[in-house]
Amino acid sequence: MVKKSVIPILLLLHILFFISCEKQREHIAPAIHERDSVPMMTTYGVNQLISDSGVIKYKIVTERWEIYQNETSQKSVFIKGAFLEQFDESFHVQSYIQCDTAYYYTDKQLWELRGRVKILTKDGLDFTSEELFLDRRAHELYSRKYSKLVTPKRTLQGSYFRSDERMTRYLVTNSRGSFEKSDFTGESDTTTVAADSLNTFSRPQASPRPKLPTTP
C-alpha cells in the first residue's frame, strides 16, 4: 500500500521538474519607441515668465503644461488652454492673448493657438479667430481661418490675416468690413465695402417720353 501511494507523488515531482526546466516567459509590456508619444514632463498650475534673447516677452498662465521631446525637436502642449501677456522692450503689457489649446515648437520658435483665440491690445484692438500662429523668428502673426478684427475706428473680417508682432500693421484678405473713407480718398467719412466683391452699379439712362398734347 505504501509503494502504491508513493508512485503518484514521484510522478508529480517528475512533471514539476521538467516544467521548471522550461524557459521562463517574461510578461513585460512592449517598450514605447516614440519618445514624443508621452510627455517627458508635466507641470500643473503654471504662472511663468518667458524670455527671448534675454528679454522677457511673455507671461503664461495655464492649468497644465506638457513637454514632449524626441531626437530632433521639442514642443510644449497646453491642452487645458493658455493665457499670455505679451510685453514690449520696457516690460509694459502690449497685449493679452488667450486660447483653448496652445502648442509651442521650440526649434521653430513658433506658437500655434487653437480654439476661441482672442487678443486684446493696449490700443483697443480686439482680434478673434479659431487659429493663430505667432512666429517669433519673423516677428509676425498670421491665420488662415476666419478672423475678426475690431478697432476703435473700423471692423474687418476675412479668411486670411497677417500682422506684425505688435499688431500695429495688419493685412486682412477675402475681407468684409467697415473702413474710413480716408483710407481710399483722404476724406474723413466712413464707408462700408466688400473688399473682394466690390461691384460698380450704374443707373440706366432714362428714355425720352413723348410730350402730351396741350389743350387750348
Structure confidence by residue, pLDDT tens digits, 98-130: 999 999 999 999 999 999 999 999 889 999 999
pLDDT (average), residues 28-48: 76
N residues, the chain = 216
The cell for 147 is 478672423
Provide the CA 118 distance to its chain's centre, in angstroms.
10
Predicted confidence at residue 8, as pLDDT, reads 57
Predicted confidence at residue 24, as pLDDT, reads 56
Angle 169-172-173 from CA coordinates, rounded to 5°: 145
pLDDT(13) > 60: no
Q: Record the pTM.
A: 0.64
| Secondary structure letter of residue 36 according to DSSP | G
Q: Which residues contact 126 (CB under 8 A, 6 or more apart)?
A: 118, 119, 120, 149, 150, 151
| CA gap 156, 192 in Å, rounded | 10
Predicted confidence at residue 70, as pLDDT, reads 83
Structure confidence by residue, pLDDT tens digits, 147-203: 999 999 889 999 999 999 888 899 998 876 555 545 444 443 333 334 443 333 333
Buried b (16+ CB within 10 A) or exposed e, 144-172: eeebebbeeeeebbbeebbbebbbeebeb
78: confidence class by pLDDT, cuts 50, 70, 90 = very high
Alpha-carbon distances, residue 36 vs 6, 65, 156 (angstroms):
61, 15, 39
Strand ranges inside 70-175, DSSP E: 74-78, 82-87, 93-99, 101-105, 110-121, 126-135, 140-143, 147-150, 155-158, 160-164, 170-173
| CA gap 158, 142 in Å, rounded | 12
Structure confidence by residue, pLDDT tens digits, 131-142: 999 998 999 999
Indicate the Cα dihedral angle 66, 70, 75, 79, nearest 10°: -40
pLDDT(19) > 70: no
Give DSSP secondary structure letters for 175-198.
-EEEEEGGGTTS---EEEEETTS-
Domains and CATH numbers, the chain: 38-194 (2.60.450.10)
